[in-house]
Amino acid sequence: MSLEKTPVTVITGFLGSGKTTLISHLMKNAGGRRLAVVVNEFGTLGVDGEILKSCAIPDCPAENIVELANGCICCTVADDFVPTVEALLAMEPRPDHILIETSGLALPKPLLKAFDWPDIRSRITVDGVIALADAEAVAAGRFAPDVAAVDAQRAADESIDHETPLSEVFEDQISCADVVLLTKGDLAGAEGLAKARAVIAAEAPRPLPVVEVTEGVVDARVILGLGAAAEDDLAARPSHHDGHDDHEHDDFDTVVVTTGEVDDLASLATRIEAMARDLDILRVKGYVAVTGKPMRALVQAVGARVRHQFDRPWKPGEARVTQLVVIAEHDRVDEAAIRGALGL
């Protein structure tokens, strides 16, 4: 039995910043490492886990990819996180490296504290925290659905000095990171990239390497094998929530919209775009059954930016249903309005 700790890389980032795409790339380009992946989904529909399992290869087989969809793993340490880690460490052969994809809404620091649990602290270590930042969204300052309204409210009321929840999540992720990967640079352009770098530099508590990546392509040597032991370095990773015994996820809520086949995928994408803009929706992701099409469509939206593609054929006997997870700040979630906007 090896006494060497198994390294774990925590991958965090702004909603839709490309975490799943990065992990898919690492699974295929792990530098000879045998990987295991833990996906912590926010909401009840496990889209990211299924995407990754479709990419499984010998160095990261499907059984090494575990999805936890019961809420934030740092809030369910005893029930979910510790048993999952123990199961992965008991595998033969044991994984050389574990990747944890956090929810886009998760605060990374409470997760790092979970590594101090007696059952696992002598067996795993946080090799590094990788924060992905969507360059276009960061440059545009889209950390709240309506930044102008928040600024106006703050200016009108001197007692309001707190930041919007989404902004705090972003800042906590940057503060906790060892490396920042700047994604979607092609959409941001040179000016947007420069602005995003400036925002990250202003938020970082210490100088951080910032690496531009496209479609998740980065050399594994840049982000794996950092040896950061982040669980022993928490004081250098400040959080808005330091001093709190717990943290709240009530700032955000989800609605799962389920329906049958959809006649026109492009029309649905247009409705998602309008809904995101009109109802201040942060994220939409899920699967769509398109009438007459043998392939299932994967739909993902960050704000009003919508992408869709056919990802795989429907399996024999599989129910052809459409399921979309819609995520927004808590006071922006109106299920009836969401369903009405989607026309489903």
More confident: 65 or 136 = 136
- Any idea what DSSP says for residue 141? T
pTM score, whole prediction: 0.68
Q: What is residue 298's three-state secondary structure?
A: strand
- Across the range 287-311, mean pLDDT stands at 88
C-alpha distances (whole Å) from 255 to each of 252, 301, 325 are 11, 14, 6
Please give the span between the terminal C-alpha atoms of the chain, in angstroms, as a whole number. 55
Q: Of 81-85, 246-250, 254-258, 331-335, which one has max mean pLDDT? A: 254-258
**Cα 215 → chain centroid:** 15
| CA separation for the pair 218, 6 (Å, rounded) | 22
- The amino acid that residue 3 corresponds to is L
Pairing of strands 322-329, 252-259: antiparallel
Q: Are 72 and 106 in contact (CB under 8 A)?
A: yes
Average pLDDT in the 207-234 region?
89
Mean pLDDT across the chain, nearest whole number? Answer: 79
Give the integer Cα–Cα distance in Å for 155 and 293: 52
Q: Is the pLDDT of residue 32 over 60?
A: yes
pLDDT value of position 160: 39
Confidence of residue 155 (pLDDT cuts 50, 70, 90): low
- Residues 51-74: what's their mean pLDDT? 56
Give the residue carrying structure tokens 């015994």: 245
**Closest to 6 in 3D by CA, of 74, 65, 85, 79:** 85
By percentage, how much of the chain surpasses pLDDT 90?
31
How many Cα atoms within 13 Å fall on the side-chain side of residue 283?
Answer: 24
Report, as an integer, the average pLDDT of 33-51: 65
Is 60 exceeded by the pLDDT of residue 75? no
pLDDT tier, 109 (very low <50, low <70, confident <90, very high otherwise): confident
Sheet strand arrangement including 322-329: 252-259, 322-329, 283-288, 295-302, 305-313
Residue 231 φ then ψ, to 5°: -65, -20
pLDDT at residue 65, rounded to an integer: 65
Whether the pLDDT of residue 200 is over 70: the answer is: yes
- For residues 49-72, one letter each, b for 16 or more C-beta atoms within 10 angstroms of the residue's C-beta and e for the rest, the string is bbbbbebbeebbeeebbbbbbebb
